Amino acid sequence: MIIQLDQIKDQGLSRQYQLAPHDFPDASAWEESGDFKLHEPIKIDLTLNRIGGLIEVRGQIATRIASSCGRCLKSFYFDLDETFVLTFTNEPLTVHEDGVDDEEGIELSAEELGLIPFIGDSIDLTETIAEQFFLALPVRPLCSEECQGLCPYCGIDLNDRKCNCAPPDFANKFSALKNVKIN
């Protein structure tokens, strides 16, 4: 997904991509982990605009993903549909008078913190788009917000039926201290 800067005209530039899992950086290893499996190609819509010396990228990533619920472990599908805005600059990030440039790095202004630097007359969006995709994935996917999960004692799926398990008595190791008298 390399964009040549001279392609971005005054009216902007729109690009659409459809990527198979093997075309997407790190997606193959991610699928092999078993947490998620892409059910259809990843659709990416991008709009690039020049804003002063900056390049603004507005995008949307959409696909269908198979996963296992983090509570009940059942397989389910969910639609990932994420929008993002990124701002690129080919200007060097400068050190301000109050900033320090040493082995610990440089201090950036608030405006510079959100900028993604690039060099040359093109922007390679591949890694940045992959990063946005992975950030959009749920840490703990759920088949539904109301999912009750599995009983921690007998393992029955509480979405299908209730169990009669009683929580074990709490063994408080400090209970012997309740009779200690301190003067």
**Could you report the per-residue pLDDT of 129-153, keeping only the tens digit for each?**
888 988 999 989 999 999 999 998 8
Q: Is residue 61 part of a domain?
A: yes
Q: Which amino acid is at 40?
A: E
* Number of other residues whose CB lies within 10 A of the CB of residue 38: 20
Confidence of residue 106 (pLDDT cuts 50, 70, 90): low
Q: Which amino acid is at 3?
A: I
Confidence of residue 22 (pLDDT cuts 50, 70, 90): confident
Q: Is residue 158 part of a domain?
A: no
- Which DSSP state fits 175? G
User: How high does pLDDT run on average in the chain?
Assistant: 83
| 128 Cβ neighbours under 8 A, 6+ residues apart | 57, 86, 116
- CA angle 34/159/150 to nearest 5° reads 55
H or E segment and range at residue 67? strand 54-68
Q: Is residue 181 part of a domain?
A: no
Predicted confidence at residue 127, as pLDDT, reads 87
Q: What are phi and psi of 142, to 5 degrees?
A: -125, 140
Confidence of residue 31 (pLDDT cuts 50, 70, 90): low
Q: Is residue 156 part of a domain?
A: no
What is the domain range of residue 85?
2-147
H or E segment and range at residue 78? strand 75-89
Q: Is residue 168 part of a domain?
A: no
pTM over 0.75? The answer is no
Task: Say if strands 13-19 and 2-4 run parallel, antiparallel, or are unpaired.
Answer: unpaired
Distance from C-alpha of 93 to C-alpha of 140, rounded to nearest angstrom: 36
Predicted confidence at residue 107, as pLDDT, reads 65
- Residues 31/20, Cβ–Cβ less than 8 Å: no
- CA angle 32/34/38 to nearest 5° reads 80
What percent of the chain shows pLDDT beyond 90? 37
Predicted confidence at residue 70, as pLDDT, reads 92
Q: List the structure tokens of 130.
A: 């992959």
Q: Is residue 162 part of a domain?
A: no
Q: Is residue 159 part of a domain?
A: no
Confidence of residue 29 (pLDDT cuts 50, 70, 90): low
- The domain total for the chain is 1
Q: Is residue 173 part of a domain?
A: no
